[in-house]
Chains A and B, each alone.
Chain A
């Protein structure tokens, strides 16, 4: 009985052709007859075949590693002389082709990593960058638009309410109270108000007109006459588009203005009309005159006149009268970049506003003055009559 190892010896000899002719013939005969033996031969062949294949695989792997190592080494070697050669060639190349010399390809490990990172995430980073740029510009644009919408077309236009220099005035009033510490000081005098403008009487029973921007954002209003008589007032109606505000005096001490000497003009005035105004750009009443220079205001606004009166902050809300003592407008603002161009709301708009309020039936009807006592009198006489109806409007925020 043969052992398995003996069979293997036999197969090995059979496969390597080391068997004699007759021995081979016997074996082949037996293989054909005995399936068990054939299976053994098959197993043997599979085993040795796998072993050789495994050996070849290992050899191939070694070979490929060697090739790769060679390649890496070559690349490393090629880079260094290349850099040198590039430097040497630099001069010739510049003369020959005028091209910029190629930079040396010496890459450190960190740079290699960075390059790989860049390589892999290039697209993502570019998208991110463009989104960032877009976001920045949209934000800037949006803010710009928002700001523009906040103050529409006021570029170059200056409203003329007077910003009271608070600190200065505070100091002055403090000094005053210190000086009058034992005298009978009036307590209201301490607070001078933040802004001031001018206003004038609309009716005899306590309605006044001023510019809307004077009382804009006001907490409380104080009307002060030429004789330092003070009344508390409240806004009744405002018209932002035409810069108008109607105030009503809410004070128990108020007894009425008396008969108003001027009347309001409902139509439009003509170009070249000589006009004047009274106002409180400072502590005292100030007169200024000029002509009506255009029948439209800033940027062609038809609700306004352009007048050539030098006006100052504090003139806002002042009355604009013509030679015959008709009130034709309310001072509103001026244009900074144009010589003596001031603007005044047309009285026709004021009349329209008053009429609409009257028909709306909000409270008492407005008893507008109908007669004009100023016509035909000289200007100093007109002003003497007028001055009691022009007031300082003080605004507290």
Chain B
């Protein structure tokens, strides 16, 4: 990649991402994108699909790192490749319905990607339910909760934004919203299970 940028080893990448180092993330992203893009293009995908699959794969990796639950038994490159390959094969089967004719004759690699992916799927489902619950909760709860939890705004900021007389009022409103969200969220989540 570009000259003058620090190059990381795998351990340094993991450490840097745990530290929330955006530059390391960006570099990791650039480093392995060509490989995945090539794989997807080779297997009847487009550039956009490659991007989607790769971002999903990086997300799985990133969240595992941030959790601190990542047990890397191989190179990051291999791990990402395995994850993205599984993701792409799944997409292809969904897309074609015929399933077959995939370039999947590669030896199975013990990368832990399979288990991680199942975990990630579960997490996706939960986050998806959360997104739906947030959609259905209505204003001003939605903006209030999004402001506090998603955009990391302070209670004072939110008080000013929503025109509450003081921070306590805003807080009380927030807790009421949380209770409503809880009902929506757990009802849906349980339904799905």
Chain A residues packing against B (C-beta within 8 Å):
4-6, 8-9, 12, 43-44, 47-48, 50-61, 63-65, 67-68, 70-71, 116, 119-120
Contacts and interface: CB of A to CB of B under 8 A. Distances in A.
A55 B51 CA distance: 21
A51 B145 contact: yes
Given A64-B58, A120-B42, A43 B127 contact: no
Nearest to A8: B175
Nearest to B176: A5
A79 to B, nearest CB: 15
Contacts of B131: 54
Given A5-B172, A48-B178, A58-B150, 18 more contacts: A4-B179, A5-B178, A5-B179, A9-B171, A9-B172, A9-B175, A43-B182, A48-B149, A55-B149, A55-B152, A56-B63, A57-B127, A68-B33, A68-B55, A71-B30, A71-B33, A116-B46, A119-B41
A48 B130 CA distance: 10
Interface string B167-193: 000011001101101100110000000
B19 interface: no
A47 B30 contact: no
Q: Name, among B178, B179, B181, the residue most crowded by chain A CB atoms within 10 Å (CB to CB).
A: B178
Contacts of A6: 175
Interface residues of B, number: 40
B25 A67 contact: yes
B132 to A, nearest CB: 11
Interface of B: 22, 25-26, 29-30, 33, 41-42, 44, 46-47, 51, 55, 58-59, 62-63, 66, 123, 126-127, 130-131, 134, 145-146, 149-152, 171-172, 175-176, 178-179, 181-182, 185-186
A55 B44 contact: no
A9 B169 CA distance: 12
Contact of B151 (A8, A44, A47, A55): A55
23 contacts: A4-B179, A5-B172, A5-B175, A8-B175, A9-B171, A9-B172, A12-B171, A43-B186, A47-B185, A50-B126, A51-B130, A51-B150, A54-B127, A54-B150, A55-B149, A55-B151, A56-B63, A57-B63, A60-B59, A67-B25, A71-B30, A116-B46, A119-B42
A71 B182 CA distance: 40
A9 to B, nearest CB: 5
A57 B123 CA distance: 11
Q: List the 10 closest pairs (A to B, CB-CB), nearest first.
A: A55-B150, A5-B175, A51-B149, A8-B175, A67-B26, A64-B55, A4-B179, A67-B29, A54-B130, A5-B176
Nearest to A12: B175
B179 A8 contact: yes
B172 A47 contact: no
B26 A70 contact: yes
B139 to A, nearest CB: 17
A57 B176 contact: no
B127 A64 contact: no
Q: Name, among A51, A56, A58, A63, the residue most crowded by chain B CB atoms within 10 Å (CB to CB).
A: A51
B86 to A, nearest CB: 19
A54 B146 CA distance: 10
Contacts of B123: 53
A44 B123 CA distance: 17
Contacts of A52: 149
B59 A68 contact: no
A56 B66 contact: yes
A50 B29 contact: no
Contacts of B152: 55
A5 B149 CA distance: 17
Contacts of B145: 51
Contacts of B44: 120
A9 B168 CA distance: 10
Contacts of B25: 63, 67
B81 to A, nearest CB: 17
Nearest to A7: B175
A57 B178 contact: no
Contact of B41 (A5, A63, A71, A120): A120
Nearest to A78: B2
Contacts of A59: 150
A60 B181 CA distance: 23
Given A9-B172, A64-B29, A53 B127 contact: yes
A61 B185 contact: no
Nearest to A121: B44
B16 to A, nearest CB: 14
B107 to A, nearest CB: 22
Given A55-B151, A55-B152, A64-B55, A116 B127 contact: no
